[in-house]
Structure 1
Amino acid sequence: MATIPKIVNKNIFKRAVFFFIIAATITILATIITYMINPDLKGVMESLGDKSSNQFRESTGIKKVWAYVVNNGFVVPLQMFVLTLIPVQFLYLINIISTAFLPGILFGVVLQVDSRKGIEIITSTIPHYFVEVFAFCLFAAVLFELNRAVRIKIRNLFKKDKEGISLVGKISETIKIYVVLILPLIILAAFLETYIADIIFSLFQ
């Protein structure tokens, strides 16, 4: 954490924390709503299963880690980056919202099936949830600055008094933070989900 101020300014870090609070709130609300509305459990589980690729479901060990890193470390950030280039604010939060929403549904379902087992599963999930979601939120906070630069560049096309801002510089800064901070956090989350979650869950048995 000591290196974060050297790479990310305080405003970006504060915005990342704010995004994380929103994501955690979405997960909590999704959990409560799912638990209260008593949905068709079989249908929900099948739906959640369909959203997971066969590669995720069939992979184990280091192969599962790699599948996780490919999806969450490259595919999702690329989707967020592309959405950032559209001059509409906060589109890049779509991935974070879905990432926060789906675990909430799952938590609500497992709590309905067996409240004790559900609490154990949720507890074992917390470490990798925190790291994964915060990594996305930190990336979103950086993309906030990049999206702002994109919107300024477009506005400059219609203004005589143009605001000075380097889009190339913002892209370079985004890539640097992604490589130095975001990707390592995603890799850490992959190991936490693959190995540590099972260890924590086994402690309750």
Structure 2
Amino acid sequence: MDEVATILKIINKTIFKRAVTFFVCAAIITVLATVITYIVNPDLKGVMKSLGDNSSNQLKESTGIKKIWAYVVNNGFMVPLQMVVLTLIPIQFLYLINVISTAILPGILFGVVLQVDYKKGIEIIASSIPHYFVEIFAFCLFAAVLFELNRVIRGKIRSVFKKDKDGISLVKKTLGTIKIYMVLILPMIIVAAFLETYIADIIFSLFH
């Protein structure tokens, strides 16, 4: 409980508001990707092949617990690691690239399924909402935390060329980021994996 209280203290109102802002932007990107894909009417076979190539073979071929594990490995470890690497580059908002790409892909998929079968497309979108919300918000929250880490990194680099040293500890900020990831972000990704694997199918079946 003390660890959770510490994490909640680190995630102040500013970080949470920034995460919400990122999430709203991601949702808008998904909607735009859906509308554009639906209007443009691209080659469906080419789009589906491209989307398939972006998914790991393990994730496409897995089911049940194996699918959850493959999902966690990809979205719980690989994607956050990529975001951290981009955070180390002293350029603001690079770590949002993964959030943007994650928001675009479902939008394209939604647009495609709406073209193929509008009614079924609506059902698929509705069944995807719980998983989408948890996954995207987890990434947005992590991006909001990385925003603070990236700011410290940029401050440390600027301080090299200034007499005034940045008093914020990079090590302390890094450890705080790791704690938030382990206690909050990773569990959210695991929940999203269960939602996609099991709950999405249950919601979809309710329409039939």
TM score, norm. by length of structure 1? 0.97
Aligned residue among 17, 22, 26 for 1:23 = 26
- 2:136 is aligned with 1:133: yes
The structural deviation recorded for 1:162 is: 1.8
Structure 2 equivalent of residue 111 of structure 1? 114
CA-CA distance at 1:200 after TM superposition: 0.4
Superposed, 1:139-158 pairs within 5 Å as: 139-158=142-161
The unaligned stretches of length 5 or more in structure 1 are none
Which is worse superposed, 3-12 or 185-194?
Answer: 3-12
Paired letter, 2:176: E
Q: CA offset at residue 53 of structure 1?
A: 1.1
SS of residue paired to 1:204: coil
Match of 1:202 in 2: 205
What stretches of structure 2 of length at least 5 have no aligned partner?
none
Q: Deviations over 1:63-94 (max 9, x none)?
A: 00000001110110011001101000000000
Once residues 90 and 166 of structure 1 are traced to their aligned partners in structure 2, the CA distance between those partners, rounded to angstroms, is 21
What code does the residue aligned with 2:133 have? F
Partner SS for 1:176: helix
**One-letter identity of the residue aligned with 2:159:** N
From 68, 77, 81, the equivalent of 1:78 is 81
Q: Secondary structure at the match of 1:168?
A: helix
What amino acid is the match of 1:168? Answer: V
Q: Which of 28, 50, 64 in structure 1 is aligned with 2:53?
A: 50
For normalisation by structure 2, the TM-score amounts to 0.96
In 2: Cα distance, 1:171 partner to 1:4 partner: 13
- Shift in CA distance, 69/11, structure 1 to aligned 2, threshold 3 Å: same
**CA RMSD between the two structures:** 1.4
Aligned residues: 205
Aligned counterparts of 2:8 and 2:21: Cα–Cα separation in 1 = 17
Give, in whole Å, the separation in 1 of the partners of 2:49 and 2:177: 37
